[in-house]
Homo-oligomer: A and B are copies of this chain.
Amino acid sequence: MTTSAGPRPDEPEPAGVPDGPGVPDGPDGPDVADLSAALERAASWLRRALRNPEWNAVALSTLDELDRGGPRRVTELAVLERTSQPGMTGILARLAAAGLVRRDPDPSDGRATLITVTPAGREHIAARHAERARFLADRIGSLPDDDRRALLGATRALAALAAPEEEEALS
């Protein structure tokens, strides 16, 4: 697909935006608002770059969560993923139909269902992570060394953003 980008009306350069990725440095370096915008852009980039026609973000995140946290109930997963219970029921039905998760009765509560990731599910996750890592490695390869180092240095902190909130959602 080619697109003919027509001439656009002149837009004045937004004040205070230097050349570069568009993150202005405040008096003491980037502040939280800058970080927030940057995270948002990075997340948006991830969403676009690695769109998966088969499984949407919630399904994949659910699979990841099961892989990481072990078997969970339908309602737990709905809470974790901030989606409705019937919606989660649907997602899990699809994942189960694809052989990526297993549905077992919960031995401690006759009403409940335990969802467990299958070996095929684990393989799917691993393959996806590997693909993503390759893609990111390639992308990072074209960044300056400083940026690469800063990203790698923030790895733990990025993961930490999500960690306690995942616990809160269960209480």
Contact = CB atoms under 8 A, between A and B. Distances in A.
A148 B157 contact: yes
B43 A42 contact: yes
Contacts of A47: 43, 57, 61
Nearest to A79: B3
B161 A139 contact: yes
Nearest to A141: B32
Interface in A29-51: 29-49, 51
B8 A133 contact: no
Interface size, A (range): 35 or more
A160 interface: yes
A163 B44 CA distance: 11
A22 B29 CA distance: 28
A166 B135 CA distance: 16
A4 B129 CA distance: 32
A75 to B, nearest CB: 5
Contact of A155 (B3, B34, B46, B135): B34
A45 B162 contact: yes
B157 A11 contact: no
Given A38-B154, A44-B64, 19 more contacts: A3-B75, A3-B76, A3-B170, A11-B71, A20-B163, A23-B156, A32-B140, A33-B133, A35-B140, A35-B158, A37-B159, A41-B64, A41-B158, A42-B161, A47-B57, A142-B164, A150-B153, A150-B157, A151-B157
7 contacts: A4-B109, A37-B129, A41-B158, A42-B43, A42-B162, A143-B157, A151-B154
